[in-house]
Amino acid sequence: MRRLQVDGPLLGGLLLICGFGLFVLYSAVGESNRLLVNQIIRLSVAFIGMLLVAQMSPDFLRRWTPWGYAAGLILLVLVLTKGEVGQGARRWLDLGIRFQPSEAMKLGVPMMAAWFLHHRQMPPRFSQLLVIAALIIVPTILIARQPDLGTAILIAASGIIVMVLAGMSVRLILGMGVLAIPGALLLWTFMQDYQKQRVLTLLDPDSDPLGAGYNIIQSKIAIGSGGLFGKGWTNGSQAHLEFLPERDTDFIFAVLGEEFGLLGVLTLLTLYMFVIGRGLYIAAQAHDTYSRLLAGSISLTFLVYVFVNTAMVTGLIPVVGVPLPLVSFGGTSMVTLMAGFGILMAIHAHRKLLPH
Amino acid sequence: MSLLAPIKDHHSERQLFLGRVLLTSVISALLLGLVVARLFQLQVVEHELFAEKSQGNRVRIEAVPPIRGLIFDRKGRAIAENLPAYQLEMIPEQVEDIDDTLERLATIGLIDAADIPRFKELGRSGPRFQPVTLKVRLTEDEIANFAVQRPRFPGVDFQPRLVRHYPDGPVVAHAVGYVGALSSDDLKRVEPARYAGTSHTGKTGVEITFESDLHGFAGYRHLITNARGRRIPSDSSELLDSLPVDQVPSPGANVFLSLDLDLQRIAAKSLEGRRGAVVAIDPWTGEILALVSAPSFDPNLFALGMTSQQYGELQGDPDRPLFNRAVRGAYPPGSTIKPMLALAALETGATNLSRRSFCRGFFRLPNSTHRYRDWKPEGHGSMNLHDAITQSCDVYFYEISGDVGINNMHDYLNRFGLGHKAGIDIGGEHAGLVPSTEWKRSAFRNRDDQRWYDGETVIASIGQGYMLATPLQLAGAAAALATRGVRYRPHLVAAVEDGMSGQRRMVDPQRLPDVEIRERDHWDAVLEGMHDVMQGARGTARAVGMGAPYQMAGKSGTAQVISIAQDDEYDEEEIDERQRDHALFLAFAPFDEPRIAVAVIVENGSSGSSVAAPIAKAVMDQYLGYGEKVAQ
């Protein structure tokens, strides 16, 4: 394990999450073996990717960071001009292999922010923060234009987390909170009609109970009817009678809540918390600015993932199309997530090799 | 560069970073705590509620139609109201085989087989969960019969609904109009949200002109239904508490008409068994006091829904009961235009107050042998303007017609409102026709037909020929005579009362351009002549006006339906009833301070003064308080 540069606790936590997730997914996809195997293959690929990334050294990653970031920006522009259109959005690029450049930027943005701060004295000066803000805003806007609001929010969050971890003053953080109001208005102008509808629906979900509010109402029914212990695996009536939309992707948390109850939901959240805690521990152990900021950002962005998805499924925030990490069906974001955990492992493995 | 860069203090930077990790961990814990609290709320606190919701039960939203506004007469008596009745409804999404269900319903006699295609169309065009009305008012027998068979008809049920009811039915049908079942065409026209759950809409008369006021806004309520869509009694269900509040429908506005139901009744009674129309107007406001067309029909048939056969009978009736003669019927006005023509002649100098002419019973144009006959074959003798109006001498008007000229006639009659729509607040008005040389040029293709002939001016002077007017226009003209030229747009609706606040919006009288007459003497002479028509020693309608407790003015008219050959005599007995002359009458009263103006037409009534005038008098008597109490 040590030689493979793998962090045991982190790997264990991730395997438990994925294993539990597969159980829930099997029920959510209607007990289809084919789709289950499909997901297992994706998970395997993602784990192998994680192990490969874990072999790299943080110094190597840091040196290549600006090039990777620049390449990512170019690809994002290409997506907007030449990307493939699917379901009203341009997200995919076909350069021999089909992929979403926005996924790569989920790591590219925090890496770039950490790279920029690496040689500088902490806490960063205001002018330096402005540069980082620009590094965040450009890809965020490009992705919001695709449009992919969920990813844009995650990317912006990952960059902002770097700034906060770097020691940006509390006054500034509060100031940004105030600035968030005009920012939100700006965001509103970028939103598509369906996205605006989602926000309005959250503010008053019962205004349109058969239309836009349907998802939230049904997912609340699913979760609430699960009670303490759930209706039992594959016994969720909401999910299986097709009241619950998108039950194998964005709303899989509702299936978990219905079939495994509060107990199952808390179990999964505990596993997530363990993984996030381990990530923050690795960040605290890291010995250079780049590694610290990157490890911290990856861990906390994972938390943002979990929070946004669970909060949206329970009707706390608008529906923004963020999957439940490592559990929702689909492979695109999984690879990025696992690569991030690979970076965490690499940072942890190299902590003693770095100069004090 | 590196020399200028400040020296990094690794220890303090690490401390700063650890502080930030702590800070973000706390925030993370708070965020996750929020989600956990929410989960606790959903899964523990409200668990039972959601458990019940998911128990195969479904929440359905049902539209609650608004209560249609009522229509009252000027004394606050209901003309259109809503009565409860059980109606048969079908919800398309709950019916397995619509064709089969409808056929079986026809077999047990609940619906008419001829209506099946219409119901199918309605079932297809609307939302599938919206009920289609199959029969509006079920009798008690039908309810009992269907109750037994209900299990055989899933998706079909009877529901209590309010049905439009017109207590006076035929008496008000042409003024108030009626509501009828929403057709698929109506559904395209109306705003769907406002009409959710609504089965009927205004089709004619005030019911359609004021549809947007009368209808109101639909509300909705939540229903708990089981998997088969049947409603579950909701009083025991806590589930409803968690749903958005039901929206109460806003009732439609009440509409107050200027009509006087007593006048309507007496006019309808007077026209019983005849074809004709009566229109009465308050000359100083344009408010319509009575508007009756006969024969009439029962508007309740439309509100209740009738069979195709019943509708076919109404449509095919040769007396055309659905035809609104009061606003749509265009008749030759006959001698009723003589007062207006007299004013035109005086104003244009074609005659004066002292001119006399001798009536021998006919008139001939220079260089022509054609005789234009007076209605009185032996002639009236020496006539001045006053006498010519009072005794309705045709020859006097024939003689001055050439000097007035058709275009002046057209001009003056136009000022009195003839020849164009009066602008009443119900639809279907006919514009009537007042000919002019210009009109004839544009109305005909053939060059010879486009020419205006002198003889046509002669017959135009007694309201014959091309000239056409509606009873509504004639009533307006009578009103303009009564006020000495002040005119108001005729209207039926006096006020609209908001269904929620009770606030009244009054409909203000709308003044139209006056009929300008230069000489006061001219008005005096013409109106005096009209007075003596009814209450003078030789007036054509003296038999009607003599001995009345108030002073009045009027003018009779008898309009030819067929032309009589030069040598023939018009013999009432020999002529087919449908070819007899139309009887017309204009009147207003009291003479000095007019409060009511009336126009009456009785198709093929033969004589204006003896058939139409008594009807006008009866209406005026009633309005002025000299009528008998009319039984309902």
Could you give the dihedral angle defined by the CA atoms of residues A262, A266, A268 and A272, in that order, rounded to the nearest 10 degrees? 150
Q: Are A122 and B28 a contacting pair at CB < 8 A?
A: no
Q: Assign B50 a pLDDT band (cuts: 50, 70, 90).
A: confident
Q: How many CB atoms lie within 10 A of CB B82?
A: 18
- State how far the Cα of B20 lies from the Cα of A283, in Å rounded to an integer: 11
CB contact under 8 A, A262 and B31: no
CA distance B305 to B178: 11
Q: For B110-260, where are the alpha helices, taking DSSP H only?
A: 116-125, 140-149, 173-176, 184-189, 205-209, 211-215
* Smallest CA–CA distance from B62 into chain A, residue: A210
For B5-23, b/e burial (b = at least 16 CB within 10 A) is eeeeeeeebbebbeebbee
- Look at A314 and B38 and tell me if their CB atoms are within 8 Å: yes
Name the nearest CA neighbour of B427 among B111, B211, B626. Answer: B211
Residue of B9, B15, B26, B28 for testing the chain A interface, max A β-carbons within 10 Å: B28
* Residues of chain B neighbouring A276 (CB-CB closer than 8 A): 28
Nearest CA in chain B to A164: B20
HSE on the CB side for A205, CA within 13 Å? 19
pLDDT category at A182 given cuts 50, 70, 90 is confident
A304: closest chain B residue by CA: B28
Confidence class for position B584, pLDDT limits 50, 70, 90: very high
Take residue B401 and report the two structure tokens written for it: 């017609």
pLDDT tens column, B347-392: 998 898 888 989 888 898 888 888 888 888 888 889 999 999 999 8
Tell me the H-state helices in B405-519: 406-415, 437-443, 447-450, 454-460, 471-482
Is the confidence at residue A242, as pLDDT, over 80? Answer: no
pLDDT at residue B153 in the model:
87
SS (H, E, C) B129-157: CCCEEEECCCCHHHHHHHHHHHHHCCCEE
Higher pLDDT, B578 or A23: A23
Matching residue, tokens 């192998």: A48
Lowest mean pLDDT among A67-76, A171-180, B481-490, B504-513: A171-180
Answer for the pair A267, A259: CB distance below 8 angstroms, yes or no: no
User: Rounded distance, CA B39 to CA B32, Å?
Assistant: 10
Question: CA B615, CA B272: separation in Å to the nearest integer?
Answer: 11
What band does B631 get if pLDDT is binned at 50, 70 and 90? very low
Distance, CA of B28 to CA of B26 (rounded, Å)? 5
What residue segments make up the domains of chain A, in order of their start?
61-332
Local structure of B365: helix, strand or coil: coil
Record: contact B38-A276, CB cut-off 8 A: no
Q: Which of B8, B13, B47 faces A224 most closely, judged by CB atoms?
A: B47
Q: Is the pTM here over 0.80, yes or no?
A: no
The three-class DSSP label of residue A229 is coil
**How many whole angstroms separate alpha carbon B301 and alpha carbon B312?**
13
| Residue of B17, B20, B51 lying closest to A227 (CB–CB) | B51
Query: What is the Cβ-side half-sphere exposure of residue B206, based on CA atoms within 13 angstroms?
Result: 29
- Is residue B563 within 8 A of residue B343, CB to CB? The reply is no
Span between the terminal Cα atoms of chain A, in Å: 25
**Peptide bond before A123: cis, by omega within 30 degrees of 0?**
yes
| Pairing of β B254-257 and β B71-72 | parallel
Q: By the 8 A CB rule, do B285 and B610 touch?
A: no
Interface contact A257-B43, CB threshold 8 A: yes
Instruction: Check: CB of residue B253 under 8 Å from CB of residue B216.
Output: yes
d(CA A57, CA A118): 15
Which one of B36, B50, B244 has the shortest CB-CB distance to A206? B244
Contacts of A243 in chain B (CB under 8 A): 54
Instruction: Say yes or no: B438 contacts chain A, CB-CB below 8 A.
Output: no
The pLDDT-based confidence of B237 (bands split at 50, 70, 90) is very low
How many residues make up chain B in this entry? 632
Query: Considering only CA atoms, which of B519, B516, B522, B529 is closest in space to residue B353?
Result: B522
Confidence of residue A216 (pLDDT cuts 50, 70, 90): confident
Residue the block writes with tokens 């079939």: A259
Residue from the list B10, B21, B47 with its beta carbon closest to the beta carbon of A283: B21
**Per-state percent for chain A, helix, strand, coil, to nearest 5:** 70, 5, 25
Residue partners of A216: CB distance under 8 A and separation at least 6: A201, A202, A205, A315, A319
The shares of helix, strand and coil residues in chain B, as percent rounded to the nearest 5, are 40, 20, 40
User: What is the mean pLDDT of the segment spanning A45-72?
Assistant: 92
ipTM of the complex: 0.90
Chain B neighbors of A237, CB-CB under 8 A:
54, 56
Q: Is the bond preceding A147 in cis, omega lying within 30 degrees of 0?
A: yes
DSSP letter (8 states) at residue B45: I
Three-class secondary structure of residue B587 per DSSP: strand
Tell me if B527 sits within 8 A of B552, measured CB to CB: no
Chain B: closest CA distance from residue A25 (Å) = 20
| B interface test, pick of A225, A285, A312 with most B CB neighbours within 10 Å | A225
Structure confidence by residue, pLDDT tens digits, A103-151: 889 999 999 999 999 888 888 888 999 999 999 999 999 988 887 878 8
Least confident stretch, A284-293, B127-136, B504-513: B127-136
What domains appear along chain B, each with residue ranges and CATH number? Answer: 65-223 (3.90.1310.10), 261-624 (3.40.710.10)
Pairwise CB contact (< 8 Å): A289 & B13: yes
Decide if B24 and A161 are in contact by the 8 Å CB cutoff: yes
Residues of A in contact with B56 (CB under 8 A): 237, 241
Q: Do B13 and A121 touch (CB under 8 A)?
A: yes
**What would the pLDDT profile of B168-221 be if each residue is shown by its tens digit?**
999 999 999 999 888 878 877 777 778 877 888 999 999 999 999 999 888 877
What positions of B carry a catalytic annotation?
335
Residue B490: beta bridge partners?
A: none
Helix axis angle for A252-285 and A332-349, nearest 10°, is: 20
The single-letter code of the amino acid at B92 is P
Average of per-residue pLDDT values in chain A: 85
Contact flag A269-B46 (C-beta cutoff 8 Å): no
For residue B35, which residues of chain A lie inside 8 Å, CB to CB? Answer: 269, 307, 310-311, 314, 316
B3 touches chain A (CB under 8 A): no
**Residues B422 and B473 sit within 8 Å (Cβ to Cβ):** yes
Q: Quick check: A228 and B47 CB within 8 A?
A: yes
Q: Do B36 and A227 touch (CB under 8 A)?
A: no
C-beta neighbour count of B191 within 10 angstroms? 11
Nearest to B35 among A209, A280, A310 (CB): A310
Inter-axis angle of helices A332-349 and A289-313, to 10 degrees? Answer: 150
Return residues 32-61 of B near A (CB < 8 Å).
32, 34-36, 38-40, 42-44, 46-47, 49-51, 53-54, 56, 59, 61
| Spatial CA neighbour of A80 closest among A90, A72, A70 | A90
Taking the CA of residue A340 and the nearest CA in chain B, the distance in Å comes to 18
Instruction: For residue B42, give the nearest of A223, A266, A280 by CB distance.
Output: A223
Q: What are the tens digits of pLDDT across the range B63-82?
A: 788 899 999 999 999 999 99
CA dihedral (A60, A61, A66, A72) in degrees, to 10, reads 140
